[in-house]
Amino acid sequence: MNFTKAIVRKPSPSLEKGLTTAKLGLPVFEKAVRQHSKYVQTLKRLGLEVTELEASDPFPDATFVEDVALLTPHCAIITNPGAPSRKGETKLIEPILKSFFENVEYISEPGTLDAGDVIEIEGEYFIGISERTSAKGAQQLILILHQYGLQGYTVPVQDGLHLKSSISYLGNNTLLATADFSNHPIFQKYNIIEVNEEETYAANALLINGKVMVPRGFYHTVDQLEHAGFEVEEVAVSEFEKVDGGLSCLSLRF
Ligand code: GLY
């Protein structure tokens, strides 16, 4: 899918209180701001018109806008995040999505869903059942997708925060994936580039208008991608990695 627009939210000084399982220390706010600004510049250079939302102090994870909405060509679906501290982020994103989308749908209790668990591959939606996304949330999403003529399928997530922590679609029928998913039967119809076990964070990459954005510093993955013919853009996101945020989590693209 080609994109023309993106929505991001600037990080807040409260970022250091973001949910995390990573043992990488606290994020340095000023560095996070610089990295976020370069991320936005990269999206713009790749052709996107970027709407930058102001930081939200009460919600330390609100910079990870990808989790609170799934954007399809036909509608925006506002999620019900699985982490209690993130549920209020949906009210923050709602007005801006209503300004861009005529159709806005909702995931509601008792279902939970983080859109970081949803990967779109050529019009099909794969939904990870994870600690954040429940089977009930996934079923609600599948029913919404059906209303718009779209299909959704569930996939269990054993490791990593979200499904997209471990798998990304790069176009040309090709996935970048960790070993957990490279052998999964549901993905066998795709060519799979398996990330090295020391570089699993790089499995969360972003295809933007023909280029692949990857987190900076994962040299083996960059080599693999370039060898496979992809044009790669490295972006530093180390401060977001410290709070379990991936490259894709920092934007909504449409
Ligand atoms: N810190 C990102 C998340 O846990 O949702």
pLDDT in tens, 14-23: 999 999 999 9
CATH classification of the domain holding 192: 3.75.10.10
Tell me how many domains the chain contains.
Answer: 1
- Unique residue bearing structure tokens 């995390």: 20
Burial 58-92 (b: 16+ CB within 10 A, else e): ebbbbbbbbbbbbbbebbbbbbbbbeeebbebbeb
pTM: 0.97
Active site residues: 162, 249
Instruction: Among 9, 12, 19, say which to mutate for ligand 1: greatest number of ligand atoms within 8 Å of CB.
Output: 19
At 53-109, the pLDDT tens digits run 999 999 999 999 999 999 999 999 999 999 999 999 999 999 999 999 999 999 999
Nearest CA to ligand 1 atom 4: 19
> What span, in angstroms and rounded, lies between the C-alpha atoms of 55 and 53?
7
Residues 6 or more apart whose CB falls under 8 angstroms from that of 213 comprise 42, 46, 205, 206, 207, 232, 233, 234, 235, 247
Range of the domain at 77: 5-253
